[in-house]
Amino acid sequence: MMTRKSQNGTRWFLWSLSFFNQLRGLQKSARELRQEVRVLRRLSQLQSMAMKDLVNDTYLKLREAVIVFAAENNMVVKVILEKIKFLEDEDLFCQGLSELLRELKDLK
C-alpha cells in the first residue's frame, strides 16, 4: 500500500503531466493560429492590391468614356451650329432673292 506522501507525489506527477500536455496543445494551437493569421494577412494584401488595380482600371475606362463622349458631343454641337448657320444663310438668301424679284418686277 502506498503511503500518503507517495500518493500525493503521484497525484502531483499526474497533474503536472496533464498540465504540460494541455500546455503543449495550447502552444500548437497558438502556432497554427499565428500561421493562419499570416496566411489571412497575405490574402488580404493580395485582395487589396487586386481591388486597387480594379478601381484604377475602372477609373481609366470611365475617363476614356468621358473623353469620347465629350468629343462626340463637341462634334454634334458643331454639326448643329453648322445647320443653324446654313438655315440662317438660306433665310438671308431667300430674302435677298425676294427683294431682287420685286426690284425686277418694278423695273418691268
- Report the pLDDT value the prediction gives residue 5, as an integer from 0 to 100: 54
Q: What is the pLDDT of residue 44?
A: 94
pLDDT along the chain (108 residues), means of 10: 56 76 94 97 94 94 89 80 86 88 82
What per-residue confidence (pLDDT) applies to 25? 94
* Amino acid in position 18: S
- What pLDDT is attached to residue 1? 45
Q: How far apart are CA 107 and CA 105, in angstroms?
A: 5
Do the Cβ atoms of 8 and 16 come closer than 8 Å?
no
